[in-house]
Amino acid sequence: MKTLRIGILSTAHVHADGFADILQRTPNIEILGFSESLVTRAEAFSSSTKLKHFATHAALMAERPEAVIICSETSLHLPLTRLAARGGAHILCEKPIATTLEDALQMQEVCQAAGVQFMTAYPMRFDSSLISLKARLAQKDLGRVLAIIGINHAENPMHRRAWFANKTLAGGGAVMDHTVHLTDLYRWLLETEVSRVQAEVSNPFFPDLEIDSAGFATLILGTGETRVPASIDCSWSRPVGIYPRWGHLKLEVILEDGAFEIDAFAGKLSLYSSRAPRIANWLGWGSDATAKMLGAFLDAVRSDTPVPITWQDGYEGLRVALACYDSSSTGQNIKLME
Amino acid sequence: MRIGIIGLGLMGQVHLAAWRAAGAEVVALYDQNTAQTERLAREHNAKVCSLPELLELADVVDICLPTPQHLEFTLLAAKAGKHVVCEKPMALTLEDATTMLETCQKAGVRLFIAHVVRFFEQYQTAAASIARGEIGALGTMRLKRAGYQPAKEGDNWFLDETRSGGVPLDLMVHDFDVANWFAGLAGAGLVTRVFARSSRSLHPDAKGDVVLATLRFASGAIAHLEGAWAYPKGVFRTGFDVAGTDGVIEWRSDDANSVQSFLPPVAQSIASVGLPVLSGGADPYHLQIAHVKHALETNSPFLVTPEDALTALKVGLAVRESLGSNLVVNL
């Protein structure tokens, strides 16, 4: 099998360590290293991963990677996408793909112009519990879907990476951070698009910050006869350092003749220890969704076939997140599709 | 204390048992189903009465009738000088609820609206923690109440939204009250904005109904409530998640109870109308009625004021309005 040359552009995102760890266990790839301009982040990443450090993104791109993973602050996805695309590298990009629709559209343009693929990092599509739910729903034997209720509440990630709560770099707070995963899962599960968005966005948890820390969105999926009401809880409502884990991804699908509840991270042990990161810890097992997502990206690059999760998927998620802000500030229902 | 119960359906019988458990004397029963009422009267040493007889015999009138009849019977009881216990929701309109409240005030009788969820120990324990400030300032609340569609034999008035108010007024009104209660304890103020979507508002012919409602409070705290008459028969799930600046409280009825049974499968009879599964501790219906009795005997406050019930109704009506208009409703 052909060896792929891979680089990690920036280590700003909390997922960068996880990607490095998986890459190091993946056969038939050559990890060129990572680029990081912040010395403190670079030192920490070097010491945890032992990967080669490039002080600039251009220096890493000069090594001609065939594929890159963009783990920068969200507002820097555009310049890094431009740099990677012009260097001929296929891109796996963290979510949300941008802070504005204009940036996202430019990202699409530069990738098309350079003939490189762009994949949005939505790992939950590769989670086994959600794959089995999708297969079960595809049987279409339980009547109409009456509603979907989703929970992706979490800790405020700023305590691990401060930029997550920076309006300029992240584009917003909890809504930007955690609306897109469930939005994407709903689109994927029902094979439809979001037609309406209504939301309450607020900052009750961190009044000193100028971003949102809580959000409840109510979407309508599809149009006409197939419309389904669906809610998303994207709040940073788990108390930092106190809750036994970052949070949850749960969703409930209620149909006319049955219901399903998914708790994607239900596989866990409880550890109570004075020597662990927290007093009470949930040690998870059973979800290797990120590794499968990365594998799917590498397969697509290697075989020159379309990536399974596209720029469009990233764009649709961003549209919903931005619509939540619009809806909450105006009180209006935002129409995304006729 | 002599009790008269009007309406001896599912809730009427639950209240009857609770009054007996509280040591009250249930003297009079009034219901159209005479055969069943006769049997209950024999079992509990009560008398099947006409309405004037009941109003004569009882000190307290407990109204367990379908919602549209709450106003009429509350006014009759109040005008006869009797204290009133009345099932939730208080009424179907704010006008009716206000009339009930004012009539009882003028008559000098007390009005107890049976928002029984406040007497579930899970909710009381959470309320006490919130009141102690253990979660800090309120941020988000999630409240769940999801069961199956009522299948009352004969006149299944629950399914007629003009009579029951549907999922928002008959079922979710419990959690509207809980949301107001918790928010009040946490200093988050009143509901300022409401938005809701439901299966039936999108598809009137849907087999079940799921209502998703979002509330915003004066402090900026927000709440998500789900109510469902949609699950397969026999399922009833409740739960809450209350998060603040310093902590979070979680509870789900799915979590382990102190008694779990593993028995060979047998044909089970399923109640026509779903009630929350009771766990270990004291029966909340009994606690509620005992609290009514205590409040009357000692002339002390009752946990749920008529104004609380009115406020819960106000939120429920706003949810219904939002379902009709697809728009945000400002309160």
Residues of A in contact with B220 (CB under 8 A): 202-204
Pick from A149, A200, A238, A270 the residue to mutate for testing the B interface (most B CBs within 10 Å): A200
Inter-chain residue contact B142 with A151, CB threshold 8 Å: yes
Asked if residue B103 lies in contact with residue B79, where contact means CB atoms within 8 angstroms, the answer is yes
Position A65 confidence tier, pLDDT thresholds 50, 70, 90: very high
Whether A162 has a pLDDT exceeding 90, the answer reads yes
Nearest CA in chain B to A242: B247
* Average pLDDT taken over every residue of chain B: 94
What mean pLDDT do residues A128-136 have?
95
pLDDT at B260: 73
pLDDT at B276: 76
Q: What is the pLDDT, as a whole number, of residue B152?
A: 87
Give the pLDDT score at B280: 62
Where residue B273 falls among pLDDT bands split at 50, 70, 90? confident
Question: For residue B258, what pLDDT is reported?
Answer: 74
Q: B207: which chain A residues are within 8 Å (Cβ-Cβ)?
A: 143-144, 146, 256-257
| Nearest-by-CA chain A residue for B138 | A204
Instruction: Determine the pLDDT at residue B166.
Output: 97
Beta bridge partners of A260: A253
Partners of B226 on chain A (C-beta within 8 Å) are 147, 149, 231
Residue B257: its pLDDT value, please?
74
Distance from CA of A213 to the nearest CA of B (A): 9
- Measured distance CA(A7)–CA(A64) in Å, rounded: 9
Q: What is the mean pLDDT of residues B126-138?
A: 97
By C-alpha distance, which of B318, B149, B248, B189 is closest to A243? B248
CA dihedral B306, B307, B312, B313 (to 10 degrees): 80
Encode pLDDT of B187-207 as tens digits.
Answer: 999 999 999 999 999 999 999
Q: Do the Cβ atoms of A254 and B146 come within 8 Å?
A: yes
Average pLDDT, chain A: 96
3-state secondary structure of A192: coil
By CB atoms closer than 10 A (0-12, 13-18, 19+), residue B295 is: middle
Task: Tell me which chain B residue has its CA closest to the CA of residue A222.
Answer: B202
CB-CB under 8 Å, A243 with B328? no
Residue B272 has pLDDT above 90, yes or no: no
Residues 6 or more apart whose CB falls under 8 angstroms from that of B308 comprise B113, B115, B177, B180, B181
Give pLDDT tens digits for B158-180: 999 999 999 999 999 999 999 99
Residue in B203, B214, B245 nearest the CB of A218: B214
Indicate the DSSP class of residue B171: I
Kindly list the residues from chain B whose CB atom is less than 8 angstroms away from the CB atom of residue A203.
220
B140 touches chain A (CB under 8 A): yes
The C-alpha torsion from A163 through A166 and A172 to A174, rounded to 10°, is 60
Q: Region B229-239: what's the mean pLDDT?
A: 95
Cβ A119 vs Cβ A89: under 8 Å: no
In this predicted structure, which of A194-208, A243-257, A265-279 has the lowest mean pLDDT? A265-279
pLDDT digits (tens, 9 = 90+) for A97-123: 999 999 999 999 999 999 999 999 999
The pLDDT of residue A72 = 98
Q: In chain B, whose CA is at the least distance from the CA of A208?
A: B245
Would you state the pLDDT for residue B162? 95
| Cis, bond preceding B284 (omega within 30 deg of 0) | no
User: Could you give the percent of chain A with pLDDT greater than 90?
Assistant: 97
Nearest Cα residue in chain B from A234: B140
The B residues from 233 to 252 touching A (CB cutoff 8 Å) are 235, 241, 243-248
pLDDT-derived band at B279, boundaries 50, 70, 90: low
Residues of A in contact with B223 (CB under 8 A): 216
pLDDT of residue B154: 86
Mean pLDDT of A85-91: 98
Say which residue, A114 or A284, is predicted with more confidence: A114
ipTM confidence: 0.92
Q: Report whether B209 contacts B229 (CB < 8 A).
A: yes
**Worst-scoring range by mean pLDDT, A23-32, A279-288, B110-119, B213-222?**
A279-288
Q: How far apart are CA A323 and CA A36, in angstroms?
A: 32
Answer whether B207 sits within 8 Å of A202, measured CB to CB.
no
**How close, in Å, is residue A144 to chain B by CA atoms?**
8
Tokens of B226: 């789900």
Put simply, the answer to whether B206 touches A146 (Cβ < 8 Å) is yes
Residue to substitute from B134, B197, B217, interface A, most A β-carbons within 10 A: B197
Residue to substitute from B224, B229, B236, B241, interface A, most A β-carbons within 10 A: B224
Report whether B66 contacts B157 (CB < 8 A): yes
Please say whether the beta carbons of A204 and A228 come within 8 A: no
Q: Are A198 and B328 within 8 A, CB to CB?
A: yes
Q: Tell me the pLDDT tens digit for each residue of B85-131.
A: 999 999 999 999 999 999 999 999 999 999 999 999 999 999 999 99
Q: Hey, what are B323's tokens?
A: 């379902």
CA A183/CA A188 separation, integer angstroms: 9
B286-305 residues touching A, CB cutoff 8 A:
none
Residue B264 has pLDDT above 80, yes or no: no
**pLDDT category, A1, cuts 50, 70, 90?**
confident
Contacts of B106 (CB under 8 A, 6+ apart): B78
